[in-house]
Amino acid sequence: MLKPMPDADKVEFKEGFVKRYSTLTDFSEFRRCSLSFPRKSMRINTLKAEVSEILPEFRKQWELFPVPWCKEGFFVESERRDIGNT
């Protein structure tokens, strides 16, 4: 679902950078994510409401996908550009 940035395939990383990050993670996946536009996402503030209370209302407006590392977080698929302006 990541959309690559224009000319991402032309970007070259310095050799030392590639060596360092290759020891930490899958560098090809790191490169793919780093050279893609960020996904729209949101996190529900559970101090104000439970996820189960809010989610049905949000799903009326957007297509949501869970963020694997954050149980209150959701990736948002929508053409609307005003998400996050509240």
Share of the chain above pLDDT 70, in %: 90
Asked if the 39-86 domain carries CATH number 1.50.10.20, the reply is: no
DSSP strands (E only) in the chain: 41-43, 63-67, 70-77
* pLDDT, tens digit (0-9, with 9 covering 90-100), for 36-64: 988 888 999 999 999 999 999 999 988 99
Record the pTM. Answer: 0.61
Q: Is the pLDDT of residue 1 over 80?
A: no
Judge contact between 67 and 39, C-beta under 8 A.
no
